[in-house]
Amino acid sequence: MVPSVQVSFYDADELKSEVSWIPNKHYSGIYGLMKLTLTKALPSDLSKVIVLDTDITFATDIAELWGIFRKFTDKQVIGLVENQSDWYLGNLWKNHKPWPALGRGFNTGVILLYLERLRRIGWEQMWRLTAERELMSMLSTSLADQDIFNAFIKQNPVLVHQLPCFWNVQLSDHTRSEQCYTEVSDLKVIHWNSPKKLRVKNKHVEFFRNLYLTFLEYDGNLLRRELFGCPSQASPETVQLQAALEELDEDDQCYDFRRERLTVHRVHLYFLQYEYTPTEDDTDVTLVAQLSMDRLQMLEAICKHWEGPISLALYMSDAEAQQFLRYAQASEVLKNRKNVGYHIVYKEGQFYPVNLVRNVALKNANTPYVFLTDVDFLPMYGLYDYLRKSVVQLDMAHTKKALVVPAFETLRYRLSFPKSKAELLSMLDMGTLYTFRYHVWPKGHAPTNYAKWRTATTPYKVEWEPDFEPYVVVRRDCPEYDQRFVGFGWNKVSHVMELDAQEYDLMVLPNAFMIHMPHAPSFDISKFRSSSSYRNCLNTLKDEFHQDLSRKYGSAALKYLTAQRNI
């Protein structure tokens, strides 16, 4: 939702066959050859494009680069900057034999492509013939598309327009990029084209690195504002959103809550590398949770307690996302775990959109079952395997069940974690553990029936009661969390109520437990405690939720209204 910017995606799978026949030694693999297919991939009515590698930082207005198309002669079809390494001179080591190039050759990190003219001269056929001819002696490309572009230009030098070198200052190994500029203020584009990226050697590297890091830490929400006087064609989604915002009553004391529900957050799915292989038996369970920066320290402990897949949504600013990246890369535990999907929901607005963030984590779980928990709980050791067995035992594939994992808490920051139910029970008796929130919010977990759980050996069913908010294992196709609830209060209660409305059986697991670890209160709970208007609005939202539930589930949902009135 950036004004004046349209984003289009093109399916690489449809284009792979165009280049898959070319052996490529470069680490980019088949994707490093995709630029060759752009005349085919892009719409036929598109006449010019700027093509950029993703490891580029602009230090100027890109409109300046666009203006260079006007300097092309009638014959020129490609604009490129000269290569700043000696690669194509062939003198880097003994027997180094690069692909043919005009002098030092050209770097394809920044390309101006005159598509209309390329199509007219038969670009697809020309680059293919060039590649076929050179591969007879070279056997494979070393620098992917760049080798083929250079061999093509060597044959057709009249087709290239050489750009000034400051449009692609290359920080790769063996470069002489410092010779390309005198003052760093002259630079237009910095290209981190070494596999070492930010660790390259250059006398101005600190300046470049700071420029890059400053860019990463910008508040990306600023880009959504009309910063320029360009005429902006609003998308249908933006028009719809604007209409919904105009319908809100600004005099409504809950206006801020209602406006929050209409906020469209920027989301970056799979922020870090993720690998998951589905199990063959269809019983796999993903731990699903959400967190913000102040709960980051829980991640390593959770990873030690839960070996299965995890889906986490992190509510963060752009700067915090970069801090998280550095934290994850420095942690031995986190960097060795590839089955954790991290999804960033970028901060915007004045409330913590807790249920929206939960839904991002829930929707991006890849297993048939999900364990819906909070990040400040540590699951018992072995819970992952126990839940998978319970899924089979309770025939969850064919029945509507929510498996309740009983919740406990400790007030100690250092806890010798119980290795079994027996050990947990003795810690309860000694007072080092308590049933969760028994002293401040007993309704939340009392229906779990902890007295029965102490001696239970088989799963037992419990009934829904007002304000019950257990942590449950359900099928992934369960209802989503209701996003009207933001900040503190009723966010899980409403979800469990909807599970009950959909006639899920609540089954407590006899040998499962989780323990809440102590932490400072969140900003939102402080707001809830100190602001009467906050609490009043929460009550208004509750009433509206009840009414919506009645409309959705009919007479079956009347018990929730009755229960609410009796409180």
DSSP calls for 55-72: SEEE-S-HHHHHGGGGG-
Label residue 94 by pLDDT band (50, 70, 90): confident
Question: Confidence band (pLDDT; 50, 70, 90) for 232?
Answer: low
Rounded to the nearest integer, the mean pLDDT of the chain is 90
How many residues are there in the chain? 567
Do both 146 and 274 map to the same domain?
no
Nearest to 445 by CA among 410, 409, 417, 474: 409
Q: Which residues, listed in sequence order, are joined to residue 113 by a DSSP beta bridge?
A: 49, 78
Is 177 in the same domain as 278? no
- In this structure, is residue 3 part of a structural domain? no
231 part of a folded domain: no
Tens digits of per-residue pLDDT, 251-268?
Answer: 888 888 888 888 899 999
Q: Say if residue 201 is in the same domain as residue 294.
A: no
What number is the average pLDDT over the span 29-52? 96
- Among 155, 186, 216, residue at a domain's last position: 216
Shared domain check, 415 and 321: yes
Query: Would you state the pLDDT for residue 231?
Result: 64
CB 366 within 8 Å of CB 278: yes
User: Are 124 and 22 found together in one domain?
Assistant: yes
- pLDDT band per the 50, 70, 90 thresholds, residue 529: low
Within-domain flag for 255: no
Is 112 domain-assigned? yes
Q: Are residues 296 and 362 in the same domain?
A: yes
| Mean pLDDT, residues 526-550 | 81
Structure tokens belonging to residue 186: 């002259």
The vertex-222 CA angle with 219 and 224, nearest 5°, equals 130
Whether 342 and 328 have beta carbons less than 8 Å apart is answered as yes
Name every residue whose Cβ is closer than 8 Å to that of residue 122 and which is 6 or more positions away in sequence: none
What is the rounded distance in angstroms from the CA atom of residue 59 to the CA atom of residue 112? Answer: 18
Cα–Cα distance, 202 to 208 (Å, whole number): 9
Q: Give yes or no for residue 567 having a pLDDT over 60.
A: no
Q: Is 191 found in the same domain as 290?
A: no
In a domain, 237, yes or no: no
User: How does 545-558 read in b/e, with b if 16+ C-beta sit within 10 Å?
Assistant: bbeebbeebeeebe
Is residue 372 a contact partner of residue 470, using CB atoms and an 8 Å limit?
no
Q: Which two tokens stand for residue 142?
A: 């070393």
Claim to verify: residue 396 and residue 545 sit in the same structural domain: yes
291 in the same domain as 211 = no
Verify that 167 and 297 share a domain, yes or no: no
Number of domains in the chain: 2
Q: Name the residue with higher pLDDT: 326 or 521.
A: 326
Question: Quick one: 197 and 322 in the same domain?
Answer: no
And the tokens for 145? 């598309």
How would residue 330 be classed by pLDDT, with cut points 50, 70 and 90?
very high
Match 């309770």 to its residue by tokens: 394
Q: What are the angstrom distances between the C-alpha of 63 and each of 58, 76, 311, 441? A: 11, 20, 40, 59
Whether 210 and 297 share a structural domain: no
Task: Decide: residue 532, CB within 10 A, 0-12 exposed, 13-18 middle, 19+ buried.
Answer: exposed
376 secondary structure, DSSP code: T
Q: What is the pLDDT of residue 120?
A: 96
Asked if the structure places residue 1 within a domain, the reply is no
**Is residue 274 included in any domain, yes or no?**
yes
Pairwise pLDDT comparison (489 vs 346), residue with the higher score: 346
**CATH assignment of the domain containing 45:** 3.90.550.10
Q: How confident is the model at residue 473 (pLDDT cuts 50, 70, 90)?
A: very high
- pLDDT band, residue 524 (cuts 50/70/90): low
- State residue 125's pLDDT score: 97
Q: Is residue 330 part of a domain?
A: yes
Q: What is the per-residue pLDDT across 144-156, written as a single tens digit (0 to 9) for each?
A: 999 999 999 999 9
Phi/psi at 559 (5° precision): -60, -25
User: Domain limits at 93?
Assistant: 12-216
